[in-house]
């Protein structure tokens, strides 16, 4: 392994050690899988209007919902989480060290989105607005209308919040600051996920998402170079609500 050597003057910084043979392929492969979601051109199988009688009673509670304003709000929330994470690291450990740790944080987000994109493309799950006519026809006929399960917004939000926590925890192991950052980041990620759960996915998918993420978390957690005492916290990396 070829390490990207941290500064010898600051042995505790950066929080993570990068290796060219592993980190670059992880980023590259993750970007390839994520791009598969972005290049989809097929519309949903039931577009432009799906039959609500084909879904269960729980899913029908969100069927037909459409709110572009909430979609914009969650976009802003996602950008705020990413910007906040980078800002905290830069202030804490300087630009170069923060850039190093940002690579690992990016890996966690990209890897989680890559896995969720595989689920999204495989399930071809219509979004709630396809079960009504409130959304514009162009939206209901677009390829994005079939990408309800699972959520890239919630995935990235929780991944960034949790991996930022572990970076800060490794930098300040005895400080309560990392837990404060986790609480703020987790609350913002929950806000980012809740509106998406109404606007961009059916209600019944939320329970399945939580169960599936508990089984996936240990593998993704390895990206954070955590020791064996950390899997419970690492599992939060991909405990997301399957929304958009």
| Beta carbons of 231 and 197 less than 8 angstroms apart | no
Domain assignment present for residue 1? The answer is no
Stretch 39-53: mean pLDDT, rounded? 85
| Beta carbons of 139 and 59 less than 8 angstroms apart | no
State residue 102's pLDDT score. 93
Lowest mean pLDDT of 66-80, 90-104, 148-162, 189-203, name the range.
189-203
CA pseudo-torsion sign 68, 69, 73, 76 = positive
Domain assignment present for residue 7? The answer is no
For the record, the structure tokens of 85 come out as: 């994470």
Domain assignment present for residue 192? The answer is yes
**Residue in this structure with the two tokens 């991909």, named with its chain if needed:** 238
Q: Which residue has the higher pLDDT, 129 or 87?
A: 87
Domain assignment present for residue 127? The answer is yes
Question: What's the pLDDT tens digit per position in 201-239?
Answer: 555 454 444 334 433 433 344 444 433 333 333 333 333
State residue 206's pLDDT score. 45
| Beta carbons of 150 and 115 less than 8 angstroms apart | no
End-to-end alpha-carbon separation of the chain, Å?
37
Considering its fold, how many domains does the chain have in total? 1
Domain assignment present for residue 215? The answer is yes
Domain assignment present for residue 9? The answer is no
Domain assignment present for residue 155? The answer is yes
Domain assignment present for residue 56? The answer is no
Rounded Cα distance, 6 and 14, in Å: 6
The model's pTM is 0.73
Question: What's the pLDDT tens digit per position in 89-110?
Answer: 999 999 999 999 999 999 999 9
State residue 235's pLDDT score. 30
Q: Which domain holds residue 129?
A: 61-237
């Amino acid at each position: 392994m070829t390490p990207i050597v941290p500064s010898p003057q600051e042995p505790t910084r950066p929080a993570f050690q990068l290796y060219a043979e592993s980190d670059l392929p992880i980023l590259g492969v993750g970007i390839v899988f994520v791009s598969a979601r972005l290049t989809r051109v097929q519309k949903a199988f039931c577009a432009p209007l799906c039959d609500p009688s084909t879904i269960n009673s729980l899913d029908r509670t969100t069927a037909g919902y459409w709110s572009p304003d909430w979609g914009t709000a969650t976009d802003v929330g996602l950008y705020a989480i990413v910007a906040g994470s980078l800002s905290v690291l830069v202030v804490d450990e300087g630009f170069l060290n923060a850039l190093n740790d940002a690579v690992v944080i990016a890996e966690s987000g990209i890897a989680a989105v890559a896995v969720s994109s595989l689920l999204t493309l495989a399930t071809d799950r219509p979004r709630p607005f396809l079960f009504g006519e409130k959304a514009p026809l162009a939206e209901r006929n677009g390829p994005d209308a079939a990408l309800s399960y699972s959520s890239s917004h919630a995935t990235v939000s929780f991944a960034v919040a949790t991996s930022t926590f572990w970076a800060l925890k490794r930098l300040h192991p005895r400080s309560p600051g990392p837990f404060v950052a986790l609480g703020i980041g987790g609350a913002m990620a929950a806000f980012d996920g809740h509106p998406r759960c109404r606007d961009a996915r059916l209600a019944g998918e939320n329970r399945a998402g939580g169960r599936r993420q508990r089984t996936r978390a240990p593998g993704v957690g390895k990206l954070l170079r955590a020791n064996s005492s950390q899997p419970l916290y690492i599992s939060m990396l991909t405990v997301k609500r399957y929304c958009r």
